[in-house]
Each structure stands twice: as structure tokens, then as C-alpha cells.
Amino acid sequence: MRLLVVEDDKDLNRQIVSALEQAGYAVDRAFDGEDGGYLGETEPYDAIVLDLGLPMVDGVTVLQQWRRAGKTIPVLILTARDRWSDKVAAFDAGADDYVVKPFHVEELLARLRALLRRAAGHATSEIACGPVRVDTRASRVLVDGQPIKLTSHEYRLLSYLMHHQGRVVSRGELVEHLYDQDFDRDSNTIEVFVGRLRKKLGVEVIQTIRGLGYVLAVPGTR
């Protein structure tokens, strides 16, 4: 899953990005509304953390521009503004959630998990496909109740497929959602990660749809 953090406080930006990366996400960052607005409009993020008091272009204006452009990416507002009128303005502009500074990183992570699973149509932090379960709260994978050790990229790949299970996902889409902006992307590595995942999981839940991509589904359900 790939996220964008738009926050002008460099220390806070770094802190948030570090926490998100440790939780298993690929993360891009921006420090003003102009760069953040451009990235949000041109890159396929799964969710965005957006400060309101940004230089260049304020957060509400950035959010309005995204929504006018038809972008439906879940957006979590992060700001020191705690007046009810500011919250109303943010939600009316298209925000999906709102966190006031100062905040606990654990709360931010929990709210982002909720946004991601709601966007994918899942009700809880634990997502299952047959014997495979992904606990998004703990970034943990279990098969038949037994924990499976995955690398960060393997976990991102499985998590993305789990959030979109039943739908064919192309290799190009996986590349766009698994790697941050600065990563040297190569779609051929996706096939390598899929092969490793299949071996570690030991169950046939990742199916190859020739010429289209991959789909995560219990055998016999498609």
C-alpha cells in the first residue's frame, strides 16, 4: 500500500513517514501544498495524510482541487486547527477523517488502517482469504493460525492483494502501489515476489491470469 504525507514541519513529516514505513507502507512525502497537490493528482496513492496549514497552497484548497479532478483517494487531515468550523470546512471539502495535533502516532496509524479497509470494503483490521490471514494492525501474516515471516516487499504485495481480493491486479498496478516515488521500479521483480510468496504461504491463493496479472482468491471460487 502506498501513501503520501503532505506536512511542512520537516521533523514531524520525517516522524510520520518513519512510522508508516515501519508499519509496512511505501511512503512519499511533500512539504508544501504545490508539490503535494501535484503528487496527489498524478500518482495512484491508497491514502493521503494532509496538513491544512501548508505553504504555497493551503490544505483545504489542495483537497478541493483533488476532488474537483475526480480523485477519490481517502484523505486524512492532520492539523493544529481544532475549531469545529475548521473541521466542517475540511469535511465539506472532501476529507475522510481529521486528526488534531498533538497526536499519538498509534492513533494516526489506526485511522489510516480504517480508511484503507473501508475503501476496500473490509470491516475489520484482520483480512482473510481461505487459510491466509493478514492482521493489518500488527503487520502480521498467518496461515492456518501459524505466523509466516515475510520481507517488507512481500508483505506489501500480499496486503495489497488481500485488500483487493477477487479482483485481477496487473503487474503495473502492483508496481505503482508497492514502491515509493524514489524506488528504482522494475515490474519483473513482482513475478519474483509472487513466487516467493507462494512458496512461503504454501497454499494456492495467488492465481496468475495470463496476460492480465494476479488475483487473490480461494481455489474454486473464480
Does position 202 have pLDDT exceeding 70, yes or no?
Answer: yes
Domains of the chain: 2-119 (3.40.50.2300), 126-216 (1.10.10.10)
124 C-beta neighbours (distance < 10 Å), count:
12
Rounded Cα distance, 99 and 111, in Å: 9
CA–CA distances in Å: residue 77 to residues 73, 82, 96, 113? 13, 11, 8, 14
Residue 220 is predicted with a pLDDT of 56
Q: Which amino acid is present at 112?
A: L
Helix or strand holding residue 40 (H, E): helix 33-42
Q: Which of 71, 69, 70, 56 is nearest to 4 (CA)?
A: 71
Residue 187's pLDDT band (cuts 50, 70, 90): low
Query: What is the structure's pLDDT at 153?
Result: 86
Specify the pLDDT at position 222. Answer: 54
Q: Is 80 helix (H, G, I), strand (E, B) or coil?
A: coil
pTM summary value:
0.78
Q: What is the mean pLDDT of the chain?
A: 89
The three grid cell numbers given for residue 160, joined into one nine-digit string: 495489497
Q: Answer whether residue 218 shows pLDDT above 80.
A: no
> 152 with 132: CB under 8 angstroms?
no
Structure confidence at residue 189 (pLDDT):
82
* Residue 5 banded pLDDT, cuts 50, 70, 90: very high
Q: List the one residue out of 176, 175, 153, 161 whose CA is nearest residue 208.
A: 161
Mean pLDDT to the nearest integer, 180-197: 77
Helix (H) and strand (E) counts in the chain: 8, 11
Higher-confidence residue of 109 and 178: namely: 109
Give pLDDT tens digits for 144-165: 999 999 988 899 899 999 988 8
- All three cell numbers of 96, joined, read 475522510
- Model confidence pLDDT, tens digit, residues 47-92: 999 999 999 999 999 999 999 999 999 999 998 878 888 889 899 9
pLDDT of residue 40 exceeding 80: yes
pLDDT at position 183 over 90 = no
Q: Tell me, what's the pLDDT at 221?
A: 59
Q: Which long-range contacts (CB under 8 A, 24 or more apart) does 206-211 make?
A: 206/161, 209/168
Whole-number pLDDT of residue 117: 85
The confidence score (pLDDT) of residue 11 equals 95
In 36-176 the beta strands, taken as DSSP E runs, fall at: 47-51, 75-79, 97-100, 126-129, 132-135, 140-143, 146-148
Position 197 scores a pLDDT of: 92
User: Coil, strand or helix: which one is 76?
Assistant: strand
Residue 217: predicted pLDDT = 85
- Strand ranges (DSSP E) for the chain? 2-6, 26-30, 47-51, 75-79, 97-100, 126-129, 132-135, 140-143, 146-148, 206-209, 213-216
